[in-house]
Copies of this chain bind each other. A is one copy, B any other.
């Protein structure tokens, strides 16, 4: 094998850990049903499981599972009120995801700029 640089020889920057940490957030967002729930909840009002189920084609139990997955990713939060369990949007982790996408985009733009400079000189 030639002594060509391998991928890892460049020593991945520490910032990568932040990127990799957002994988669960993206995974939670990677489902239409959950995106719908997010869209409904980020309209502001905390809603019960029954309310969130009405208007969908799936069962209450399926909705519950999706809400739990969103909660594990930190994208929603629940508050128990009487016999109801109200769910509300939690924006912190979404901001984290936005920062990750911006970091990728920035790195890409930087690579393009460097390439352009190399071509023009």
Contact = CB atoms under 8 A, between A and B. Distances in A.
Chain A interface bracket (under 10, 10 to 19, 20 to 34, 35 or more): 35 or more
A79 interface: no
A42 B107 contact: yes
A20 B26 CA distance: 13
Contacts of A108: 42, 44, 89, 91
A55 B20 contact: no
Contacts of A12: 36, 39
Contacts of A28: 30
Interface of A: 6-9, 12, 16, 19-20, 22-32, 35-36, 38-40, 42-45, 47, 51-52, 54-56, 89, 91, 94-95, 97-98, 101-102, 104-105, 107-108, 111-112, 114-115
